[in-house]
Amino acid sequence: MSEVTITKDNFKAEVLDSDIPVLVDFWATWCGPCRMLGPIIDEIAAEKAGVLKVGKVNTDEQQELAAYFRINAIPTVILFKGGQPVDHFMGFMRKAQVEDFLAKYL
């Protein structure tokens, strides 16, 4: 399963009501570290399909969501479990670091 594009319109259904944990990547097209992290997030989405849902929020297009979660630096990645944010990280991380971040929750 590839990542899901998250908008304010589908956020509740895709993230808050999800039966499995959801990793939400807040990013923008002009952000260099976001473009570096993107392929890693894509790989994790494919590898963890069925165990983890991965969503992407374009902060330029979804400014209301970004403001609600007080995103002031990108990339910011938030892990939701049971509809609640349980952890996050900001900035670029290598794949092994992202996997270590997720290991506590999956």
Q: Mind listing the domains of the chain with CATH numbers?
A: 4-103 (3.40.30.10)
Rounded to two decimals, what is the model's pTM?
Answer: 0.95
Say whether 31 is catalytic: yes
Say whether 34 is catalytic: yes
Residue tagged active-site, from 34, 57, 66, 71:
34
Q: What is the pLDDT along the chain (106 residues), one digit of tens a residue?
A: 578 999 999 999 999 999 999 999 999 999 999 999 999 999 999 999 999 999 999 999 999 999 999 999 999 999 999 999 999 999 999 999 999 999 999 9
The β-bridge partners of 56 are 5, 25
Tokens standing for residue 18: 């999800």
39 preceded by cis ω (within 30°)?
no
